[in-house]
Amino acid sequence: MWSNFFLQQEEDRRMGGNVVAGVGAGVGVERSKKRSRSSHMSESQEGKIKIAFIVAIVGVTLTVLGLGTEFWVELAQPKHFQNNQSCQMVHYGLWKACTRTLWVSDIDPERESCGPAELPGESNCTYFKFYTSGENAVIFKKTTDKNLSLAAAMLALFSLFLIVMGFVCIIMSLTKNVPFLLKPASVCFLISGVLILLSIVVFHQSVLALLASDHSVPLHYELSWSVACVGSAGAILLIGGVLFLLLSLAFNPFKKCLMHQSSSA
Domain extent listing, the chain: 43-249
Name the CATH topology of 43-249. Answer: Butyryl-CoA Dehydrogenase, subunit A; domain 3 (1.20.140)
Q: Are 237 and 63 in contact (CB under 8 A)?
A: yes
**Full pLDDT tens readout for the chain, 265 residues:** 445 444 455 555 555 555 444 444 444 444 444 444 444 556 777 777 888 888 889 999 999 999 999 999 999 988 888 777 888 899 999 999 999 999 988 888 888 888 888 888 888 999 998 888 888 888 888 888 889 999 999 999 999 999 999 988 888 887 877 777 888 888 999 999 999 999 999 999 999 999 998 888 888 889 999 999 999 999 999 999 998 888 877 544 445 555 555 555 5
Query: How many CA atoms does the CB half-sphere of 104 hold within 13 Å?
Result: 13
Task: Report which of 118, 112, 73 is spatially closest to residue 100, judged by C-alpha positions.
Answer: 118
CA distances for 48 relative to 41, 165, 166, 213, 221, angstroms: 11, 20, 16, 51, 43
Predicted TM-score (pTM) of the model is 0.76
